[in-house]
Chain A
Amino acid sequence: MKDEVTSREERIDNLKGMGCSRKRVEDARFTQGKGNYVDDIKLDGMIFGDFVRSPYAHARIKSIDTAAALEVPGVLAVLTAKDLEPLGLHWMPTLAGDKQMVLADGKVLFQGQEVAFVVAEDRFAAADGIEAVEVEYEELEVLVDPFKSLESDVVLREDTVDEAGKPVDGAHGPRKHHNHIFTWEAGDKDPTFEVIDNAEVVATESMYYHRTHPCPLETCGCVASMDKVNGKLTVWGTFQAPHAIRTVVSLITGIEEHNIRIISPDIGGGFGNKVGAYPGYICSAVASIVTGKPVKWIEDRMDNLMTTAFARDYHMTGRISATKEGKITGLHCHVTADHGGFDACADPTKFPAGFMNICTGSYDIPTAFLEVDGVYTNKAPGGVSYRCSFRVTEAVYFIERMIEVLAIELNMDAAELRRINFIKKEQFPYTAALGWEYDSGDYHTAWDKALKAVDYDGLRAEQAQRVEDFKAGKTRSLMGIGLSFFTEIVGAGPVKNCDILGLGMFDSCEIRIHPTGSAIARLGTISQGQGHATTFAQILASEIGLPADSITIEEGDTDTAPYGLGTYGSRSTPVAGAATAMAGRKIRAKAQMIAAYLLEVHDDDVEFDVDRFVVKGAPERFKTMKEIAFAAYNQAIPGIEPGLEAVSYYDPPNMTYPFGAYVCVMDIDVDTGVADIRRFYALDDCGTRINPMVIEGQVHGGLTEALAVALGQEIAYDDMGNVKTGTLMDFFLPTAWEVPNYETDYTVTPSPHHPIGAKGVGESPHVGGVPCFSNAIQDAFRPFGNRHTNMPHDHWRIWKTANELGLHG
């Protein structure tokens, strides 16, 4: 067969494979209002559930009277812990090896905690029912400060002590105190201390990475439907990890896994908020089982901010040592981690502080030691990775602040200090002092490119002039130059060391090629806006030679998708993307045999070329993948099964290590504390680039979430444990007006162990962006003696820094 119509280049373009800015296939439905989010689901006879929540942060529950609520028209039932206890469902396991009350079992540990579940005919009746439930509380002493909690006689969790009141071991070893959850260590303590104690220069700093929240625009929710006739439970919900949720539901309800179907429909952003299992899911399932009707539960925004999955809340103290010339010799980090009332962090089992041990950053630091103490307080549980891999934002913030502080100690330019300590290109794969093996990197090239792009020397000269002008009374505005160079650790992860609740963190892809040459691929992940339906089809198009436009990507239905651990921690491309490529290669291997048969040559005599197999040395003899697909279904080929399908379960040999270089320029009004972002340059290296348009979009979004966190976004509590930032009036989500335009750039350093060399990008801009914004603020005040101030850098805190430095006269 001759193919005279299209050139090789045109054939490549037709595939819309890897490397092209393919427009997103998801967008048609979203732009026309035809998305299908969980709250759009409407089933016959569906009823609604909602929670009575505790107004107190720490209280004993003396009584719950549901009688009046049951009289409210439309209210069908009110569940309390007493109703769940016979089923063993009044507590549930957390992802961190702890357990959490589903409904308050005798006491409450944080404001907003779930006390009773009101089930009603509609959400209006449920709201009225909630008002009518009478709960008598006895207020208890509230502990909102983890340091005070570790000294307090108050036992927050009665299951942490034995009968004599002595602390019992937790999921991660012995407790130092009844309110202590775990100690986790990495690296070598004594050698590190020896290096630091004897170093020429040591910089010490304490910093608090405040509590915040992922706050996706869609809150969490579900619809649970128990089909009593067939014994099947179906739950639609905002699940970033549908398969893991199915397994958890099976383990705690005893319903066999084949009788549970978990479906993640379209998800309106996740950012880590939708990884965990929440009481609403359990209560909805129970209510559906009890009533035989589908039950919908949807959080409101206050519920979301106050109760589901906070992020960060790390109190970090560091010591970093160096030679007089600035060569770093050692690093010590201690973290006091506030986990709230239950340890519900979403981390791989063996990593109760996530990958905090990536805190040596992008630098060749010979010796290091990390210790993390987890603590219970009267705050909401969580500790999820908000647009980052497990605790990587905290780690990168820590090291990028320590570098700046060390630069001050050395009286050195912080860009130069970074440059002389970067891990060199030839050192990769590089084993860091805290154990991780970095796969690939070329930090110096990226750094030089970034500094050149922004004219770094020019900026510093301008800044020096500004300081002079300020001192001369010519201006009240200071200029800050924020630098950050980050290395992420994403793509969890190798089953040998990464699991959640015992489930290995591999991922999967299953492909079916249809007879006429189109295909469907299903994955164990689930998009929440990342555009998987677009980009995974691009990977496949390049691998199997069928146009991306002819490939449907489907995720999120546990009845149809292969098992995988879901989407968070930038793991989709590194793990499921690899599975996709590997499954594609299995398809291609079979296609090669079919092509050889059709072309009447030996298997080894054909080779793959874009969208076809050609006979080596005879390019006019070929079979297109479309022809091969049809042959797979209509020809009896000796020794080859009919059909063309493949599945791959990919256990990654290592994590991937995306990196990047960011520079931010800010002008700061010393008198009002208002910071104006003049410029932001972001260079990302995420290895092989699948879709540049999508990458750029991810960078814009991640930077904007970084801006929010650095400049004002926090979950703040008062001394009584009341949440002070429970609505979007006070919880800072920037609008278009507060956000700058970003300049994006890139280098490409493929991952050597990933089938297509891709590393993942969705979270890099957040991880690298937070320290960059923060460093810009801090840098503006460096000439006046600032070493470190804590985020969030909202107006009054910036003003406070200026005030404490005596800049208000």
Chain B
Amino acid sequence: MSKKQHYKITVNGKEEEFLAEPRELLIYTLRERLNITGPHIGCETSHCGACTVTIDGKSVKSCTMFVAQADGKDITTIEGIGGPDDLHPLQNAFKEHHGLQCGYCTPGMITRATKLLEENPNPTEEDIRFGMAGNICRCTGYQNIVKSIMAAAAEMNAAKEAAE
């Protein structure tokens, strides 16, 4: 055990301050310290993406980041993407197009997809398959995940056009 340090991070718009060992992995900080249990632990070696969150505009596997590295950063998890009163189009599209089954990969999957669509609002199927390749799903075979993301992109683009 090493000495606990003082850390401050912003999660889903809320500032959080706490003492923790530097070796605490960010995924545990979120899940156990802050009770933000949307991001999950799947592989622990940065292959599966179940723990994906957005940190300062990047999709990051939070099982492979120490809390010390995250000090001072702005973090968004699935909980910050949309809730019952303000569902994100991706959340809706995953339900409409059966883009999930057991749901374990889903928070990481959707969180990653928000960033993908931000960087590429008109992705082809190939773009999606390549851009989502850091997230493993064991249930769906990905076909409906791709479909869900395509549908969300179309919806978001239509909304953007309507607003303009």
Does A touch B (CB under 8 Å) in the complex? yes
Q: Does A696 contact B (CB under 8 A)?
A: yes
A73:B44 contact, CB within 8 angstroms: no
Q: Which of B44, B78, B141, B143 contacts A300 (CB 8 A)?
A: B44
Of the listed stretches A11-19, A698-706, A777-785, name the one at the interface; the rest are far from the partner chain.
Answer: A698-706
Residues 28-57 of B contacting A (Cβ, < 8 Å): 28, 31-32, 35-45, 47-48, 50
Docked pose: A696 CA to B42 CA in angstroms: 25
A737-B133, A739-B141 known; A28 vs B95 contact (CB < 8 Å)? yes
Complex CA gap A266/B105 in Å reads 13
Q: Is B104 an interface residue (CB 8 A)?
A: yes
- Residues of B54-112 whose CB lies within 8 A of A: 77-79, 82-84, 87, 90-92, 94-96, 98, 100-107, 110
* CB–CB A40/B37 < 8 A: yes
Residue of B nearest to A700 (CB): B141
Partner of B35, one of A24, A42, A269, A530: A42
Question: Do A271 and B138 touch across chains, with their CB atoms under 8 A apart?
Answer: yes
A727 interface neighbour in B32, B47, B77, Cβ under 8 Å: B47
Contact of A461 with B by CB under 8 A: no
Q: B residues within 8 A CB of A124? A: 1, 21, 23-24
State whether the Cβ of B142 lies closer than 8 Å to any Cβ in chain A.
yes
| Chain B contacts for A34, CB-based, 8 A | 38
Contact between chains at B39 and A693 (CB < 8 Å)? no
Q: Check A736/B129 contact, CB under 8 A, given A216-B102, A700-B144, A729-B45.
A: yes
Cβ contact within 8 Å between A697 and B144: yes
Residues on B with beta carbons closer than 8 Å to the beta carbon of A123 = 28
**Number of chain B residues whose Cβ lies closer than 8 Å to a Cβ of chain A:** 62
B27 to chain A, nearest CB (A): 10
Chain A: which residue is nearest B137 at the CB level?
Answer: A217
- Check A267 against B102 for contact (C-beta < 8 Å): yes
Q: Is the CB of A33 within 8 A of B102?
A: no
CB neighbours of A739 from chain B (8 A): 129, 141-143
Task: Tell me if A736 and B101 are in contact (CB < 8 A).
Answer: no
Which of A175-197 touch B at CB < 8 Å?
A: none
Contacting residues, chain B, for A215 (C-beta < 8 A): 138
B140 within 8 A of A: yes
Shortest beta-carbon distance from A697 to chain B in Å: 5
A26 within 8 A of B: yes
B129 touches A27 (CB 8 A): no
Our pick among B35, B43, B82, B102 for the contact of A32 (Cβ within 8 Å) is B82
The answer, among B44, B50, B95, for a CB contact under 8 Å with A31, is B95
Q: Are B105 and A703 in contact (CB-based, < 8 A)?
A: no
Residue A292, interface by CB 8 Å: no
Would you give the shortest CB distance from A51 to chain B, in whole angstroms? Answer: 15
Is A498 an interface residue, CB under 8 A from the partner? no
Residues of B within 8 A of A135 (CB): none
Contact at B41–A39, with CB atoms within 8 Å? yes
A35 at the interface (CB under 8 A from B): yes
List A contacts of B132 (CB < 8 A): 735-736
Q: A26 and B103: CB pair below 8 A?
A: yes
- Among the listed B1, B105, B145, which residue makes an inter-chain contact with A73, where contact means beta carbons less than 8 Å apart? B1
Flag if B101 contacts A32 (CB, 8 Å).
Answer: no
> Could you tell me the distance between the alpha carbons of A625 and B106 in the complex, rounded to whole angstroms?
37
Whether, in the assembled complex, A23 has its beta carbon less than 8 Å from a beta carbon of chain B, the answer is: yes
Question: Interface digits, A68-91 against B, CB 8 Å rule (1 contact, 0 not)?
Answer: 000011100000000000000000
CB-CB under 8 A from A742, the residues of chain B are: 141, 143
Nearest chain B CB to A37's CB is how many angstroms away? Answer: 7
Is the CB of B136 closer than 8 A to any CB of chain A?
Answer: yes
- Interface check A529, CB cutoff 8 A: yes
Contact between B100 and A27, CB atoms less than 8 A apart: yes
Is there an interface contact between B1 and A27, defined as CB atoms closer than 8 Å? no
A72 to B142, CA, bound (A): 45
**Closest Cβ–Cβ distance, residue A128 to chain B (whole Å):** 7
- Collect the chain A residues with CB atoms within 8 Å of residue B138's CB: 215-217, 269, 271, 701, 705, 733
**Can you pick out 20 interface pairs between chain A and chain B where the beta carbons lie within 8 Å of each other?**
A27-B103, A31-B78, A31-B100, A33-B79, A39-B31, A39-B41, A218-B42, A266-B103, A267-B102, A269-B104, A301-B44, A528-B102, A697-B139, A700-B140, A700-B143, A704-B142, A729-B47, A736-B142, A736-B146, A739-B143
17 A-B pairs besides A34-B38, A736-B137 with CB distance below 8 A are A31-B103, A33-B79, A42-B32, A124-B21, A124-B23, A218-B102, A269-B138, A529-B103, A696-B144, A698-B101, A700-B141, A700-B143, A704-B141, A727-B47, A728-B45, A736-B135, A739-B129
Q: Which residues of B contact A (CB under 8 A)?
A: 1, 21, 23-24, 28, 31-32, 35-45, 47-48, 50, 77-79, 82-84, 87, 90-92, 94-96, 98, 100-107, 110, 128-130, 132-146
